[in-house]
């Protein structure tokens, strides 16, 4: 590798010195979690921290998101670095000095760490702009947990002025021990469509079902028909998952209600199959409700498309981590699951790569759980990997 691409400072030492700051910020965010679109204090804190660092063009975007620019002294691409910042509606059960102070809200997915890591990365990048090639667009994204934060940031113009060439992101992995990084090419997380079906029948006394149109019976037939369709047409190991998580109807054992509500989620790795299944749900609803004499309303809320790691960008990331972080992290192939990640909107817009950083010490921890916890010192692996990728990106 040409020496002209080598940073003029020691990345590992810079991360070591910045780690206490990142840990402090992570633990502050963890103790003060905020739900999607309500990240007011988090937004204000990030804005203030970036401003104190002297980051350029710091501004609030997409409601409660924050962005800023770091211009390197050397020519190179514009790279967007993304961190999501919202928490989940859960009551924390893990007791630690920085446990959530907000009833019913906690950082159970690691977004507190993502935000703290990107603050640390920004601090180091801004201090060492003399050897930075290109420009860094910081994206502290709100509303990742099902509220379209990434899409709204794009709509607000975060990929323009200057035009972003590449995007990078990471996520804590409770299934991986500290010091491990999971990364893969191609599809790495599924699309997600959450849907609500409202069934309208004709209520009446439970002793006279022939005079009624039961939305409960319609719902049972609909669930079976949809699940049978998905199983028979798509049970071929390609990652299609359709789950019903809610069925609400009625209040009394002897009264047939007027309405019923079903809620579910669809995950796929194939856009064609995604559309076919959504069309089939519409057709099944029409057929079943027509047979019974009822009606329906269907509301589909797309969370994200399939998240795709660009082959070229991901190959660069892997080679950089192998060459410059091999003595500190172990790379493992990423096994795709049925989870969804709205970084997918960035990956659909520009060549991107998204990877997972292990955080557990003794035993795996489950995300989106009241017991989710990890040691803040795992931030050093996030920060060091991201910095190496940024500084060496142009040399690979």
- CA-CA distances (angstroms) from residue 182 to 171, 173, 318, 330? 10, 8, 10, 9
What's the maximum distance between 2 C-alpha atoms anywhere in the chain?
85
Contacts of 300 (CB under 8 A, 6+ apart): 193, 194, 195, 278
261 marked as binding residue: no
Contact 260, 218 (CB under 8 A): yes
12 labeled binding residue: no
Report the run of H or E that residue 387 belongs to, with start and end. helix 379-392
For residue 197, which of 58, 295, 64, 85 has the smallest C-alpha distance?
295
Cis omega before residue 124 (within 30°)?
Answer: no
Q: How far apart are CA 388 and CA 182, in angstroms?
A: 16
DSSP string, 207-240: T-GGGSB-HHHHHHHHHHHHHHHHHHHH-SSS--
Residue 373 annotated as binding site = no
Q: Is 324 annotated as a binding residue?
A: no
In the chain, the DSSP E strands lie at 56-61, 65-71, 74-84, 133-141, 166-177, 180-183, 186-189, 191-200, 204-205, 241-249, 255-256, 259-268, 295-304, 307-309, 330-333, 352-360
Q: Binding site annotation covers 171?
A: yes
d(CA 49, CA 26): 13
- Binding site membership for Mn(2+): which residues? 109, 111, 145, 171, 368
- Binding site membership: which residues? 109, 111, 145, 171, 368
């Amino acid at each position: 590798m040409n020496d002209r691409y080598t940073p003029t400072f020691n990345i590992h030492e810079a991360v070591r010195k910045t780690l206490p700051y990142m840990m402090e910020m992570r633990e502050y965010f963890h103790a003060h979690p905020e739900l999607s679109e309500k990240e007011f204090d988090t937004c204000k804190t990030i804005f203030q921290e970036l401003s104190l660092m002297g980051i350029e063009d710091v501004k609030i975007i997409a409601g409660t998101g924050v962005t800023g620019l770091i211009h390197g002294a050397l020519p190179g691409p514009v790279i967007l670095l993304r961190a999501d910042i919202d928490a989940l509606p859960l009551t924390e059960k893990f007791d630690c000095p920085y446990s959530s102070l907000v009833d019913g809200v906690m950082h159970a997915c690691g977004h507190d760490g993502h935000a703290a890591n990107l603050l640390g990365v920004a601090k180091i990048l801004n201090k060492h702009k003399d050897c930075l090639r290109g420009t860094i667009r910081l994206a502290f994204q709100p509303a990742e947990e099902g509220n379209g934060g990434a899409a709204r940031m794009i709509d607000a113009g975060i990929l323009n002025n200057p035009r972003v060439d590449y995007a990078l992101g990471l996520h804590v992995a409770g299934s991986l021990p500290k010091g491990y990084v999971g990364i893969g090419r191609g599809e790495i997380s599924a699309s997600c469509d959450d849907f609500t079906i409202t069934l309208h029948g004709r209520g009446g006394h439970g002793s006279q079902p022939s005079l009624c149109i039961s939305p409960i019976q319609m719902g049972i037939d609909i669930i079976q028909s949809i699940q049978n369709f998905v199983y028979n047409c798509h049970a071929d190991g390609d990652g299609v998952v359709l789950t019903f998580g809610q069925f609400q109807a009625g209040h009394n054992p002897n009264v047939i209600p007027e309405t019923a509500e079903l809620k579910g989620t669809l995950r796929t790795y194939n856009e064609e199959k995604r559309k076919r299944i959504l069309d089939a749900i519409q057709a099944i609803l029409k057929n079943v409700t027509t047979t019974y004499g009822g009606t329906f309303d269907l509301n589909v809320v797309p969370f994200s498309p399939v998240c795709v790691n660009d082959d070229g960008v991901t190959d660069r990331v892997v080679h950089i981590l192998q060459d410059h972080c091999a003595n500190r992290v172990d790379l493992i192939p990423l096994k795709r699951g049925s989870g969804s990640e709205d970084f997918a909107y960035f990956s659909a817009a520009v060549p991107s790569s998204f990877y997972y950083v292990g955080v557990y010490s003794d035993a795996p921890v489950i995300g989106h759980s009241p017991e989710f916890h990890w040691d803040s010192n795992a931030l050093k692996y996030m920060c060091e990997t991201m910095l190496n990728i940024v500084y060496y990106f142009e040399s690979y």
